[in-house]
Amino acid sequence: MSRLEFACCVLLLGLGMCLGLRQSLRNVLLILADDGGFESGAYNNSAISTPHLNALAQRSLTFHNAFTSVSSCSPSRASLLTGLPQHQNGMYGLHQNDHHFNSFDKVQSLPLLLRQANIRTGIIGKKHIGPEPVYPFDFAYTEENGSILQVGRNITHIKLLVRKFLETQDERPFFLYVAFHDPHRCGHSQPMYGPFCEKFGNGESGMGWIPDWVPQTYTPEDVQVPYFIPDTPVARADLAAQYTTIGRMDQGIGLVLEELKVAGFLNDTLVIFTSDNGIPFPSGRTNLYWSGTAEPMLVSSPEHRNRWGQVSKAYVSLLDIVPTILDWFSIPYPSYSIFGTKTVHLTGHSLLPVLMSEPPWTTVFSSQSHHEVTMYYPMRSVLHQNFHLVHNLNFKMPFPIDQDFYVSPTFQDLLNRTRSGQQTSWYKDLHHYYYRDRWELYDRKQDPWEIQNLATDPNYREVLEMLKVQLTKWQWETNDPWVCAPDGVLEEKLSPQCQPLHNEL
């Protein structure tokens, strides 16, 4: 359908006279930030200007207890599109052909299920998952067939791709996935653009120009420093650069939603905004602490306006995205086998009931194995009510540091201050960051910074055992190969299936 037809349709719809140019169908727009956090007015950050996210929040239910199931880019995106944790779908670390990090061939992803249900699918921006047969999209403009800076950061280019997708829309419902590359760091790969690519497309000589972007600059004094980031001039300048690219993404979100409105789809499209994992700062991305897993989430349904502008405190996960979208399209949940006869079932919840009334959900799970291929540090976690339990399976080894975070100004400043014995202005030290206990138990009501480990406190023995049982049950339900680790080995043909290793752990 042409843009002119869409404009006519919008006008005629007001008179009830669209003459069949298109049927009123349910659609979905999923918008994903890359390493984004709570730096927006929608989450009460008054230091940054995000008018488009703020406006979306007014049309949405805002979740204050939303979490990723894994704090790493590709594993998170694979989990988001399969409804399965990384240890179940096979995307253990960052997707790359060299090391063959892919989801298992028999996984039934959301785009595959939607295609089978005759729903048109599209992806614009960062994909970073594979293999292609598991994640097929009808319309695809990603790093696989273009520059990631253009399809993921150039908001004018993104706008035009969204317009192209909508103008070529047929009679089917659609699912459009717009995955921004902002505000991900790029100083390790394109240092000329700044730590967060904040100079890309700003019109300076050699930096290109993005016609629709009005760059917003911030000073180190402007920013709000989260508790888990050192409050130093270097870290503040790093956050200021991050704010600039969040502003670019915010303006891009405004452009995308305007295209949806002009095309006449705004009032029949479920819009979801969230991020893939924690921000790329100390205790953020690659960590299963609150600071590494807590995510923004806005869900805007044109059919559930009674909760627009409200806040939900339900504990929800990115594993809930697949069941939500399947419910929106009235598609049955998949039931299949990846290996042998073990049946895969979705463990997430549909969020549609939350759009009508507050549910009693107070538990989420997370699971991490790798980030980069050399970063093997398996962790499992359960957050139940105020209590957070983290199981570090590789606890006798130092916690690994990823490449772009290592070269970041904030981490280099933290290293230099630690080496020289200077004040770090950080809430912990590098020794305790690197070397962790096998079990970490936190009471977030009393200790929101997750500093005091209660795992060995006899007063919390019952809580610890309860959470261990919950976590182990979820691991068995999701076919976790690490369920017996690190002091046992999984032998499925024996009883019990966890056989002890007697390895002194």
pLDDT in tens, 98-109: 888 999 999 999
Is 287 in a helix, a strand, or coil?
coil
Quick one: pLDDT at residue 167?
98
pLDDT of residue 499: 96
Does 454 reside within a domain? no
d(CA 364, CA 349): 11
Cβ-defined contacts of 183-187 (< 8 Å, 24+): 183/33, 183/34, 183/35, 183/36, 183/39, 183/242, 183/245, 183/246, 183/248, 183/249, 184/34, 184/35, 184/280, 185/35, 185/280, 185/404, 185/405, 185/408, 186/149, 186/404, 187/404, 187/407, 187/408, 187/409
What pLDDT is stored for residue 340 in this prediction? 87
Does residue 430 sit within a domain? no
Q: Is the pLDDT at 7 greater than 60, yes or no?
A: no
Choose the catalytic residue: 73, 186, 197, 484: 73
Q: Identify whether 217 is part of a domain.
A: yes
Distance between CA 14 and CA 5 in Å, rounded? 14
Contact 151, 143 (CB under 8 A): yes
8 Å CB contact between 459 and 409: no
The range of the structural domain enclosing residue 81 comes to: 27-357
Query: What pLDDT shows up at residue 3?
Result: 53
Mean pLDDT for 198-212 is 97
Q: Which residues of 454-470 are buried (b: 16+ CB within 10 A; e: fewer)?
A: bbeeeebeebbeebbee
> So what's the pLDDT on residue 173?
98
From the CB of residue 91, how many other CB atoms can be counted at a distance below 10 Å? Answer: 33
Q: What pLDDT, on the 0 to 100 scale, is given for residue 18?
A: 40
Q: Is the pLDDT of residue 9 over 70?
A: no
Q: What domain count does the chain have?
A: 1
Q: What is the pLDDT of residue 199?
A: 98
Judged against a pLDDT cut of 90, whether residue 320 lies above it is answered with yes
Three-point CA angle 156, 409, 99, nearest 5° = 70
Is 504 within the bounds of a domain? no
How confident is the model at residue 13, as a pLDDT? 43
pLDDT of residue 12: 43
**For tokens 């409105």, what's the residue?**
261
pLDDT for residue 312 is more than 60? yes
Query: pLDDT > 90: what percent of the chain?
Result: 93
pLDDT in tens, 321-334: 999 999 999 999 99
Does pLDDT of 10 surpass 80?
no
Active site (annotated) includes residue 73: yes
- pLDDT, mean of residues 220-240: 98
Q: Round to the nearest angstrom and report the end-to-end CA distance of the chain.
A: 64
Radius of gyration of the chain (CA): 23
Q: Is the pLDDT of residue 141 over 90?
A: yes
Beta bridge partners, 63, equal 297, 312
pLDDT of residue 20: 38
With respect to residue 47, please indicate whether it lies within any of the assigned structural domains. yes
Q: 17-26, 356-365, 460-469: which has the minimum mean pLDDT? A: 17-26
- Reduce the DSSP state of residue 381 to 3 states and report it: strand
**Whole-number average pLDDT of the chain:** 95
pLDDT band (50, 70, 90) for residue 405:
very high
Distance CA 227, CA 131 (A): 38
Token pair belonging to 186: 């790029």
Largest alpha-carbon pair distance within the chain? 75
Please indicate, yes or no, if residue 338 is contained in any of the structural domains. Answer: yes
pLDDT tens digits, 331-347: 999 999 999 888 999 99
Residue 218's domain is classified under what CATH number? Answer: 3.40.720.10
pLDDT tens sequence across 73-113:
999 999 999 999 999 999 999 998 788 899 999 999 999 99
The sign of the dihedral angle between the CA atoms of 287, 292, 294, 297 is negative
Instruction: Report the C-alpha gap between 279 and 69 in whole angstroms.
Output: 15
Of 299, 315, 436, 456, the residue nearest 368 (C-alpha): 436
pLDDT of residue 96: 84
In the predicted structure, residue 16 carries a pLDDT above the cut 80: no
Each residue's pLDDT tens digit, 425-479: 999 999 999 999 999 999 999 999 999 999 999 999 999 999 999 999 999 999 9
Phi, then psi, of 71 in degrees rounded to 5:
-100, 60
Q: List residues bridging with 343 in a β-sheet.
A: 337
pTM across the whole model: 0.94
**Distance (Å, rounded) from C-alpha 337 to C-alpha 492?**
16
Residue 17 maps to a domain? no
Q: What does the alpha-carbon distance between residue 464 and residue 216 come to, in Å, rounded to a whole number?
A: 47
Q: Is the dihedral of CA 223, 226, 232, 236 positive or negative?
A: negative
Q: What is the pLDDT of residue 24?
A: 61
Assess if residue 437 is contained within a domain: no
